[in-house]
């Protein structure tokens, strides 16, 4: 497979250091920290009902959040609950069932699903019987398209025998495996002991069972990590040749994420070492034939994510990059975020509050946001920058009925320093992210984020380095 239409990526250390401010990852725009409480349930229901009139045949995307983990990895910033008690998952499934019933009641006919994702926490915390029950609940409420993309996040350390087979029988065909680093000292420092053979065995089982796109998550910047450990990890990972690799930066924010307080700050690599690891990882992956998709993601040229990038159809959603056109998303479970039409709606983040709402017979929504026209226009700009590395002005103006130069005059002014540094090229025809700018595309996107400009702070966001 030849990738022809993708802007190459050039790793420019000086520019990355200069422009590496904190910033959102734009899995949504507006970002979730802009959501507010209030009338979100009513807005969400109105959007669901409008969808049935305006797009009755459009397929849905489903997300289910499964929050439990056996043990806590010290770097973790996810919304999870550490427990060994599988009984807690039974209770959780009881409540998920209530939520599914409430959501399903808002549809006049059984909705069709083209994408399903189980995230966490650790979805494979569930016993096989619990997994069977959950899938039965979903399948009686929704109709799954025969070619639906069904993906699951896997913790190879705690995979029940037969779990992958069970999910494959139910149509699961994608998986993402948490690895982070293969070095035993790093694994010990982050409380995640996962010998390479364990990861390899899950990967091989997945391939035999027909999981066609397998992603491995890696992290750089963890305690005890170095260029040497990164090199060794990459050498092994490249022998496995997963279809996708996500390479995340570790952001040490112990004041926000309690497990991170158990990390010895003295063992965290210095920024220069972290940058060297990133450079090594990026160049190694590119030299091994992976395509840089954007942000933290790489894929083999034959993977559908790379093909979507090449064909200009790449999407960005709460799971990162995706291939399917902008689907409405129904998200189930504690803290999960739905998007129907112009409405984002987030469930309660706290398990007790989530259960209490369902006990009262109401959707467990806590906050959200109904996008204004300005939000939608800016969301399209940020999407085009992060998914296509360019905005073609005439096309954008025709689609959104705006005079680009006038509408975005203050934003374009803010691009000037990035243009001077060669991260972005601005002409009357297009705004194009350059090869040097691709790695910093979110910095370019931030210049179009109205909320960020008004809030004047980026303190709570993560950095690249
Ligand atoms: S990284 Fe994954 S397995 Fe580890 S604590 Fe976080 S959610 Fe659980």
Q: Looking at ligand 1, which residue's alpha carbon is closest to its atom 2? A: 121
Domain that includes residue 155, residue range: 34-330
Element (H, E) at 377: helix 373-388
CA nearest neighbour of 192 among 180, 177, 176: 180
Mean pLDDT computed over every residue of the chain: 94
Other CB atoms within 10 Å distance of the CB of residue 275: 20
80 CA from centroid of ligand 1 (Å): 7
Number of domains in the chain: 2
Asked if residue 76 has its Cβ within 6 Å of ligand 1, the reply is yes
Q: Among 77, 155, 251, which residue has the most ligand 1 atoms within 8 Å of its CB, making it the best to mutate?
A: 155
Q: Are 26 and 61 found together in one domain?
A: no
Which residue, 330, 358, 382, sits at the end of a domain? Answer: 330
Q: At what angle do helices 227-240 and 271-287 cross, to 10 degrees?
A: 20
Task: Tell me, yes or no, whether 405 lies in a domain.
Answer: yes
pLDDT value at residue 198: 97
DSSP string for residues in 425-455: EE-SSEEEE-TTTGGGHHHHHHTT-HHHHHH
460 pLDDT more than 90: no
Asked if residue 119 has its Cβ within 6 Å of ligand 1, the reply is no
pLDDT value at residue 436: 94
pLDDT digits (tens, 9 = 90+) for 89-125: 999 999 999 999 999 999 999 999 999 999 999 999 9
pLDDT digits (tens, 9 = 90+) for 35-44: 999 889 999 9
pLDDT value at residue 110: 92
Which residue, 295, 312, 330, sits at the end of a domain? Answer: 330
Q: Are 141 and 275 found together in one domain?
A: yes
Task: Tell me, yes or no, whether 352 lies in a domain.
Answer: no
Q: Looking at ligand 1, which residue's alpha carbon is closest to its atom 6? A: 76
pLDDT value at residue 458: 55
pLDDT digits (tens, 9 = 90+) for 297-345: 999 999 999 999 999 999 998 888 998 877 899 999 999 999 999 999 9
Confidence of residue 463 (pLDDT cuts 50, 70, 90): low
Which residue, 270, 298, 330, sits at the end of a domain? Answer: 330
Q: Are 323 and 387 found together in one domain?
A: no
Range of weakest confidence among 271-275, 423-427, 460-464? 460-464
Task: Tell me, yes or no, whether 354 lies in a domain.
Answer: no
Counting atoms of ligand 1 from 1, which one is nearest the CA of 155?
A: 3
222 CA from centroid of ligand 1 (Å): 14
CA-CA distance, 354 to 365, in Å (whole number)?
Answer: 8
Task: Tell me, yes or no, whether 356 lies in a domain.
Answer: no
Residue range 367-382: average pLDDT?
A: 97
Distance, C-alpha 263 to centroid of its chain? 24
Q: Are 273 and 394 found together in one domain?
A: no
pLDDT digits (tens, 9 = 90+) for 195-227: 999 999 999 999 999 999 999 999 999 999 999
Confidence of residue 259 (pLDDT cuts 50, 70, 90): very high
The three-point CA angle 298-303-304 to 5° equals 105
Task: Tell me, yes or no, whether 259 lies in a domain.
Answer: yes
456 pLDDT more than 60: no
pLDDT value at residue 464: 59
Say which CATH number the domain at 103 has.
Answer: 3.80.30.20
Q: Are 413 and 305 found together in one domain?
A: no
Q: Which residue has the tokens 């705690």?
A: 158
Say which CATH number the domain at 444 has.
Answer: 1.10.10.920
Q: Are 186 and 52 found together in one domain?
A: yes
292 CA from centroid of ligand 1 (Å): 25
pLDDT value at residue 407: 98
Helices (H), 241-372: 271-287, 304-311, 351-359
pLDDT value at residue 51: 95
pLDDT value at residue 275: 93
Give the whole-number percent of the chain exceeding pLDDT 70. Answer: 98
Residue range 163-184: average pLDDT?
A: 97
Task: Tell me, yes or no, whether 294 lies in a domain.
Answer: yes
Q: Are 132 and 256 found together in one domain?
A: yes
Residue range 47-62: average pLDDT?
A: 93
Q: Are 187 and 74 found together in one domain?
A: yes
pLDDT digits (tens, 9 = 90+) for 382-419: 999 999 999 999 999 999 999 999 999 999 999 999 99
User: Is 22 within 8 Å of 458 (Cβ atoms)?
Assistant: yes
Q: Among 70, 120, 198, which residue has the most ligand 1 atoms within 8 Å of its CB, making it the best to mutate?
A: 120
Task: Tell me, yes or no, whether 156 lies in a domain.
Answer: yes
Q: Are 6 and 127 found together in one domain?
A: no
Q: Are 300 and 158 found together in one domain?
A: yes
Q: Are 284 and 319 found together in one domain?
A: yes
Range of weakest confidence among 20-29, 137-146, 156-165, 251-260? 20-29
Task: Tell me, yes or no, whether 340 lies in a domain.
Answer: no
pLDDT value at residue 453: 86
Q: Are 4 and 141 found together in one domain?
A: no
457 pLDDT more than 60: no
pLDDT value at residue 454: 85
């Amino acid at each position: 497979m030849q990738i022809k239409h993708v802007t190459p990526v050039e790793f420019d250390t000086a520019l990355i250091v200069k422009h590496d401010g904190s910033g959102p990852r734009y899995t949504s725009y507006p970002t979730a920290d802009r959501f507010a409480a209030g009338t979100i349930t009513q807005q969400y229901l109105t959007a669901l009902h409008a969808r049935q009139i305006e797009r009755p045949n459009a397929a849905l995307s489903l997300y289910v959040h499964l929050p439990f983990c056996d043990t806590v990895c010290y770097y973790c910033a996810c919304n999870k609950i550490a427990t060994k008690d599988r009984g807690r998952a039974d209770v959780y499934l009881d409540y998920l069932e209530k939520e599914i019933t409430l959501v399903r009641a808002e549809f006049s006919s059984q909705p069709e699903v083209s994408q399903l994702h189980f995230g966490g926490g650790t979805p494979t915390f569930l016993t096989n019987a619990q997994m069977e029950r959950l899938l039965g609940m979903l399948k009686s409420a929704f109709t799954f398209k025969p070619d639906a993309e069904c993906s699951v996040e896997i913790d190879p350390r705690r995979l029940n025998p037969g779990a992958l087979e069970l999910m494959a029988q139910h149509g699961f065909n994608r998986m993402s495996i948490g690895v982070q680093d293969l070095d035993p000292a790093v694994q010990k420092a982050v409380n995640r002991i996962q010998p390479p053979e364990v990861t390899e065995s899950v990967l091989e089982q997945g391939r035999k069972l027909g999981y066609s796109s397998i992603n491995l998550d890696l992290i750089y910047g963890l305690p005890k990590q170095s260029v040497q450990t990164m090199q060794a990890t990459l050498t092994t990972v490249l022998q496995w040749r997963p279809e996708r690799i996500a390479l995340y930066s570790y952001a040490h924010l112990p004041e926000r994420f309690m497990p991170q307080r158990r990390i010895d700050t003295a063992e965290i690599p210095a920024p220069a070492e972290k940058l060297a690891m990133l450079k090594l990882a990026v160049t190694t992956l590119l030299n091994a034939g992976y395509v840089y998709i954007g942000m933290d993601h790489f894929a083999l040229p034959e993977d559908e994510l790379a093909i979507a990038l090449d064909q200009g159809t790449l999407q960005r959603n709460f799971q990162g990059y995706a291939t399917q056109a902008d689907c409405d998303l129904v998200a189930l479970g504690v803290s999960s975020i739905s998007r129907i039409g112009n409405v984002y709606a987030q469930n309660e983040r706290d398990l007790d509050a989530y259960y209490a709402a369902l006990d009262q017979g109401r959707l467990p929504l806590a906050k959200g946001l109904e996008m204004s026209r300005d939000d939608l226009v800016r969301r399209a700009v940020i999407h085009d920058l992060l998914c296509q590395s360019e905005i073609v002005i005439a096309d954008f103006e025709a689609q959104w009925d705006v005079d680009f130069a006038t509408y975005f005059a203050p934003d374009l002014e803010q691009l000037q320093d990035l243009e001077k540094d060669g991260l972005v090229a601005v002409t009357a025809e297009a705004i194009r992210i350059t090869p040097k700018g691709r790695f910093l595309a979110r910095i370019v996107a931030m210049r179009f984020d109205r909320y960020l400009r008004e809030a004047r702070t980026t303190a709570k966001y993560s950095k690249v380095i």
